Structure 1
Amino acid sequence: MRILGLDPPEKYRVLYQVYSICLNTTITFYYPLSMFINMFLLDKKKEVVSNLTLTISMVVCGMKTFNNYLKRKELWKIREYLVQLDSEVKFEVDKEYLEYMEKVSFRYFVLYASMYGLVIATCEFPMLFATESRLLYPAWFPWDWKKSSRTYVAIHSYQLIGIIIQIYQNLLNDTLPGILMWLLKGYLHVQEARIERIGYDENASDEENYNELVACVKSHKICSMCRLLVYRYAFLCQLNGCGELTNRPHTQIMRHGQLINCGIFRLSKAKTLLYAKSKVTNSMQKSNEMADETYHFTTALYQCNWMDQNLKFRKVLIIFMQHSQKPWTIFAGGVIGVTLSTWMTVLKSAYSLFAVLNRVA
C-alpha cells in the first residue's frame, strides 16, 4: 500500500504526501476521467458501450482504492490483532498449521500477481502488431497524439504506467479480503484445537483449566473483532461483483475494431474472463470456508473435558457456546451474503447483461 501512496512512512512524510497526491491525481482520478470524457466524443453506439464498460471498471478500482485509504487504520488494527493471536500459540502443531495457512495465502497472492502480470503483457502485445498508432484504451487528451510521435510516445507511456498502477491496485483490493478471511479461518481452527485440549492434562488444576478457558474466550473475542473489521471490507467483494456485471461485456471491443483481431487478442479475451471469474470465486470460497469453520466451533467446546470441571468452568462454557453458535457470514453492504450461492446469482446476471449488450452491439 505504500507504493500506492496509502501508507505514509515515519520519515519524509511531506515528500511522501506530495508523491501520493501526484500519483492518485494523475492515475486514480484522471485515468478514468479521460476515458469518461472520450465517451461523449464517440459517434458509434458500439464504441460507446465498449468505452462505458471499461470506464466503469476504472471507476470501481478507484472507489476500492479510496475505501482502502479510508480504512487504513483498521488494517493496522487487524495486523495488531493477528500479531497478538500469534503470540498466544504454544503448541508446535498449531504453529505448523498457521505456517501452512500463511504459505497458502502467499501462493494465492503470487498466483493472482502472475495473472495480473499477464494482463499487462496482453494489453501491450496487440500494439506491437498494429498497422497504425493506437492507444491502449480509448481516452481523451488535450494534445493531438496522431500528428506527433513524441506526444504519442508520452501518452502511450502514461497509459501503460497507468494500467500497471491500476492493476496493482486491483491486485491488492481483490486479494486482501480473501487472504484475511483465510487467515481468520486458520486462527479459528487453532482456537478449536486449543479448547479441545482443556481438561485432559492431569497435571493442570481446575483453576488452571478455568483460566485457560477464559484465555480462549478472550482470543475468540479478538478473532471476532478481526471479523468485524473484515466485514467492512466485504464492500470490496460487492464492488467486485458489480465489476463482473459490467466489465465482462467489454469483450465487445475485440469484436468491433477497437483493437486488432489476432490470435493474441483472442488469448487475452479468454485470459481476462478466466482471471476475472476466479478472483471473485476465491473471495466467495474463503468466506464460505470461514463460515464453515465457525460451525465446528461449538462442537470443539463439547470435545473438552468439561464433565470433570467445576461449576464455574461449566457456566462460562455454556455462555461461550451460546455466543459461538451463530456462523460468521460476511454480508456485503449489510444485505448480500458473500457466499458461493450469491456468486452463482452474479454470474447469471452477468450473462444476462452480456446477452442484452450483445444484441445492442
Structure 2
Amino acid sequence: MKISLVVDVEEELEELNTHSAVSYHWRVWELMGLIQPPGMSRQQFLIRSILINVLVTFLFPLTLLANLFFTNSLKELFENLTITITDMVANLKFINVFLVRRQLREIQGILWVLDKRAKTVHNEQELRVLRQSVRIAQSSFRTFAGIFVFGTTLSCIRVAIARHRQLLYPAWFGVDWQCSDVAYWIINVYQLFGLIVQAMQDCANDSYPPAYLSILTGHMRALELRVRRIGYPEPDPMSHILYNRAKYQQSVYLQLSECIEDYINILRLHAIIQEILSVACMAQFVCSAAVQCTVAMHFLYVVDSNDLSTMILSLVFFIAVTLEVFIICYFGDRMRTQSEALLDAFYACNWMDQMPQFKRNLIITLMRTQRPSLICAGGYISVTLETFVQVNRLTYSVFTLLLRAK
C-alpha cells in the first residue's frame, strides 16, 4: 500500500505541467495558423494559415461590414451592429495573439522553471493548488466553448425553421441568393464554416486571459504557502546533541533566497502577462459596452415584432459579452487578492531570530510586495470586479440615452 502511494505521488510530479492549462488554446492557435504545429513543414503551415485567415479572418467580417450599408430599418441596423462589432473586435484580439506569440513562448519557459521548483519542494498542498489552477483554466475554456456551441446551434436552428430564406447572419455577398438555390447553399455552407472557425478563435481569445491569470494566481498561492513555512518548525536545541544554530539559520536563509528567486520569476511572469493582456482586455471592455447597448436596443425592437428565435439569440449575445468581462475581472481580482496574501506571508515567516542577511533581504522583498499585482487594460484600467461594475454602469447610462432617442 505504501509503495503504491509513493508511485502515485511520483506520477503526479511527472505530470505537473501548469502550461497544460492553455493546451486547448495552443491547439486552436495551431489550427488557425497562428503557431506552427510540431511536425508540420513551414510551407504547409503557411498555406493553411493564409487560406484560413483570408477566407475567414479577413473576408467573413468584411461581408458583415458591407451589409451595414444596405440596412433598411433600425432593427436591422442594431442586429448587424451587434454581430459586426463582436466579430471585428474578436479579429483584433486574434491579431493581438499573433503579435505577442513570442511572449507566449517566454511564458512557457518561465512556467517550466516554476514547475521544476514545485517538484523539487515536493509539498503536497502546493502541488494540489497548482493542479487546481490548471483545472480551473481548462474549465474556463470549456465554459466559453459551450456558449459558442449553443449560439452557433441556435443560429442553425433559426435558419432551419424560418418561413423564408435567410442566412445564418446578415451579410452581403453581391449575389441574389434569394432566387438561386446554388448561391443560397454555397453562402450558407461558407457562413457555417466561417462561423465555426470564428467561434473557435473567439473561444480561445476570450478564455486565454482568465487561463493565464489562473496559472499566475496558482503559482502565487504556492509561493505563499512556501514562504509561510520558512523558519517553521524551529528545531528544539535540547532534542539533538549536534544542533548548530548558525547552521540552522544558514539553512533558513537559503530557503528565503530560493523563495525570492521564485518571486522574481513570478514578477517576470506577471510582467509578460500584463503585456499580452493589456490590449485584449481593453478591447473586451470596449466591445462589451458597445455590444450590450446595441443588443439591448435590438431586443427592444425585436420584442415589438414578436420574433422569439431572434429574441433568444439577442439574449445569448448579451449574456455572453457580459460573462466575458465578468470572468476576466473575477480572475484579475483573485490575482490581486492573492498578491496581498503573498505580502502577508513574508511578514508571517519566522524572521525574528534569523541572521542579519536574512532580515535585510526580507526588507528589500517587502518593499516590492507593498505594491499589489494588478493587470491593467490599456495600461490604465485595472482588471478587477470594481471595473466590471463601472463598465456595466457606463453601459446602462449609454443605453438610457439611446432609449430616450428611440
The two structures have a TM-score, normalised by structure 2, of 0.83
The residue number in structure 2 matching 1:92 is: 124
The residue number in structure 2 matching 1:9 is: 37
Is this contact kept in 2: 1:254–1:261, CA < 8 A?
A: no
Residues 1:357 and 1:167: Cα distance change in structure 2 (over 3 Å): farther
Mapped partners of 1:214, 1:141: distance in 2: 64
Q: Offset of 1:117 from its aligned partner?
A: 1.0
The residue number in structure 2 matching 1:160 is: 192
Corresponding letter in the other structure for 2:383: V
Q: Secondary structure at the match of 1:144?
A: coil
Stretch moving more, 13-22 or 106-115: 106-115
- Please give the per-residue CA displacement for 1:86-138, whole angstroms capped at 9, x wherever unaligned: 11112122111211222222222222211221111111111111111111222
Mapped partners of 1:5, 1:71: distance in 2: 14
1:196 to 205, 228, 240: 228
Mapped partners of 2:220, 2:146: distance in 1: 30
Mapped partners of 2:153, 2:296: distance in 1: 17
The residue number in structure 2 matching 1:176 is: 208
Q: Secondary structure at the match of 2:163?
A: coil
Is this contact kept in 2: 1:35–1:51, CA < 8 A?
A: yes
Mapped partners of 1:163, 1:252: distance in 2: 24
Mapped partners of 2:31, 2:37: distance in 1: 11
Corresponding letter in the other structure for 2:171: A
Q: Offset of 1:33 from its aligned partner?
A: 1.0
The residue number in structure 1 matching 2:93 is: 64
Q: Does 1:210 align with 2:261?
A: no
Q: Does 1:317 align with 2:362?
A: yes
The residue number in structure 1 matching 2:160 is: 128
Mapped partners of 2:402, 2:157: distance in 1: 27
Corresponding letter in the other structure for 2:295: H
Is this contact kept in 2: 1:188–1:223, CA < 8 A?
A: yes
Mapped partners of 2:390, 2:347: distance in 1: 37
Q: Secondary structure at the match of 2:374?
A: coil
Is this contact kept in 1: 2:130–2:218, CA < 8 A?
A: yes
Corresponding letter in the other structure for 2:130: L
Corresponding letter in the other structure for 1:174: D
Q: Does 1:141 align with 2:173?
A: yes
Is this contact kept in 2: 1:112–1:171, CA < 8 A?
A: yes
Q: Does 1:102 align with 2:130?
A: no
Residues 1:295 and 1:219: Cα distance change in structure 2 (over 3 Å): same
Corresponding letter in the other structure for 1:94: E
Q: Secondary structure at the match of 1:2?
A: helix
The residue number in structure 2 matching 1:54 is: 83
- Please give the per-residue CA displacement for 1:226-283, whole angstroms capped at 9, x wherever unaligned: 111111213212211111122122355556579x854444333333322321221111
Q: Does 1:351 align with 2:396?
A: yes
Is this contact kept in 2: 1:287–1:339, CA < 8 A?
A: yes
Q: Count residues with an aligned counterpart.
A: 360
The residue number in structure 2 matching 1:330 is: 375
2:280 to 211, 233, 236: 236
Mapped partners of 2:398, 2:192: distance in 1: 29
Mapped partners of 2:296, 2:30: distance in 1: 33
Is this contact kept in 2: 1:54–1:250, CA < 8 A?
A: no
Mapped partners of 1:75, 1:269: distance in 2: 34
1:22 to 39, 51, 56: 51
Stretch moving more, 48-57 or 297-306: 48-57
Q: Secondary structure at the match of 1:289?
A: helix
Q: Offset of 1:166 from its aligned partner?
A: 1.4
Between structure 1 and structure 2, the one with the greater Rg is 2
Stretch moving more, 248-257 or 230-239: 248-257
The residue number in structure 1 matching 2:144 is: 112
Corresponding letter in the other structure for 2:169: Y
Q: Does 1:82 align with 2:111?
A: yes
RMSD over aligned CA atoms reads: 2.1
Q: Secondary structure at the match of 2:30?
A: coil
Q: Secondary structure at the match of 2:153?
A: helix
Identity of paired residues, percent?
28
User: Structure 1: where are the runs of 5+ without partners?
Assistant: none
Mapped partners of 2:75, 2:320: distance in 1: 25
Q: Secondary structure at the match of 2:70?
A: coil
Q: Offset of 1:207 from its aligned partner?
A: 2.2
Mapped partners of 2:211, 2:283: distance in 1: 17
Q: Secondary structure at the match of 1:98?
A: helix
The residue number in structure 2 matching 1:221 is: 264
- Please give the per-residue CA displacement for 1:187-223, whole angstroms capped at 9, x wherever unaligned: 1111111111112253873222222211111111111
